[in-house]
Chain A
Amino acid sequence: MTQPHIRLTDVEMTFPRPDGVGEGIHALGPIQLDLRHGEFFAVVGPSGCGKSTLLELMIGLTSPTKGSITFEGQPINGSCPDGIGVVFQEDASFAWLTVRDNIAFGLRRMALDRREQDERVDKALAMMGLVEFADAYPSQLSGGMRQRVCIARTLVTEPRLILLDEPFGALDQQTRLLMGDEILSLWRKTGATIFLITHALDEAAMLADRIGVMSSRPGQLIDIVETHWPRDRDSRIVEQDAFGAVTARLWRSLRVESMKAIGKKEASS
């Protein structure tokens, strides 16, 4: 397969100013990016660099001011194509549905018979360790478990491209490492392409095959780091020397950009 899974060509995003006067705010781009089928790609960048805007463009929630995005060769235009699943940073579980009904939510509009739906939900419950909470409501679960409900809800539709927008942002460090393991194992099991947005360098370094580093606004990809990890890996990769080298390189690329983001200039060259 030579065609990239998703391709961003000269993508730029400019938001109009709130008062409508003058030039808009150039938030993003131009960005060129090809994701290969089945790879795990992470994006890191300083806060406010347009990471979430990039994600919204990729799922068709917003249209880019310039450039184009194609998914499996088809342009994305105003709506999210089938085959793309998203897990957001905020808790997006439906409070009025049980865990089981939450997970089944996206399946209901697909042309599948009921038995196939139930099977997929059971599988997702097992994979995410939620079996004994199937009939609980989200309010009875911890933040980490709610996020797993959202991941399961995305998984059951069997997306070929999964976008994760800082899905572990609200979790503690230990839970994040373990959730990272779960993501890696489901990436291997499903064979899907994963696009992860994060602000945690170690998370990106531990999980991804390639890591894109974004500049401060307007966000552009200023570096792409290949990790060369084996496909069969887990969070213990953080013990390796190579892991330190990857995070070091990421930080080198990011340090100046992060300082710009918090309004500081490089003190000395």
Chain B
Amino acid sequence: MSASTRRLFANMGWLTLAILVLWQGLYALIGDIALRSPVSTLQFTAKFITTPQFVTHLTETLKAFVLALLIAVTSGLAIGFLLGLKRFASEIFEPFLIAIYSVPKITLYPILLLIFGLGLSAKVAFGAIHGIVPIALFTLNAVRNVKPVLLKTSRVMGLSTGATIRTVIFPSALPEIFAGIRIGFSLTLIGTLLGEMFASQRGLGFLLMNAIGLHNVDVIVMLTFLLTGFAGMAGIVLLLINRRITAQV
């Protein structure tokens, strides 16, 4: 483990501690009406996550999220590469992508629901449209910014277009592409959960919405805790991968 990775983990430890202290303080202030203490949340979580009910909802969310992320990454990369390699096309479509990026996606959800109906596909589609555009924009810029001298070098070496993309453009653009994937990851997660909250019969988002309706503070705090933990952990893993990639550049 490198010194910087150790430092990262130490920082994360301190941050976790700070959050726990803040949480406990907030609980002392607000009380049981809207919050649970860290200890009782952990106890409740340990009990709840083994129930078949929870496992069903978790599996549903994971399935939707993984599918949405897969679609977001593959189409984002495809759009990014297609436009990045063609200057003319990128000049036409980049402003569109930026415009789409700033559209509040939730306004598109009714249309997606009408197209896909209630269920997994609507959630997947809604999650994916959150992730595609940032990944496409980052990839487009990364591909366009590959140093011209590297492209000249590959031409002089007689590399085919495919080989140039694979062995020169992709690795050269990877650090920036990965930054896009990191952002796409968190936006896709938001999209998937939002999709579950507003029109779904299954998944953690549905569970959360249900708990709000029933004023079940135990479940609300537990889900917040789990989702924050998951997003935080995934963030650290992606950051570590990112560091590995950029270490050489």
Contact = CB atoms under 8 A, between A and B. Distances in A.
Interface stretch (A80-88, A197-205, A211-219): A80-88
A150 to B, nearest CB: 8
Interface residues of B, number: 19
B10 interface: no
A187 B247 CA distance: 36
Interface string B157-169: 1110001000110
B168 A90 contact: no
Interface string B218-243: 00000000000000000000000000
A170 to B, nearest CB: 12
Given A80-B156, A106-B157, A109-B157, A90 B172 contact: no
B167 to A, nearest CB: 8
Contacts of A79: 155, 158
B158 A92 contact: no
A92 B248 contact: no
A133 interface: no
A96 B152 contact: no
Contact of B158 (A82, A90, A91, A97): A82
B33 interface: no
Contacts of B86: none
A105 B157 contact: yes
A86 B172 contact: no
Contacts of A80: 155-158
A-B pairs, top 7 by smallest CB distance, nearest first, are: A137-B248, A90-B149, A96-B171, A92-B149, A95-B249, A80-B156, A92-B153
Given A61-B152, A80-B157, A92-B147, 17 more contacts: A79-B158, A82-B158, A85-B156, A86-B152, A86-B153, A86-B156, A88-B152, A91-B149, A92-B149, A94-B150, A94-B171, A94-B172, A96-B172, A97-B171, A105-B167, A106-B157, A109-B157
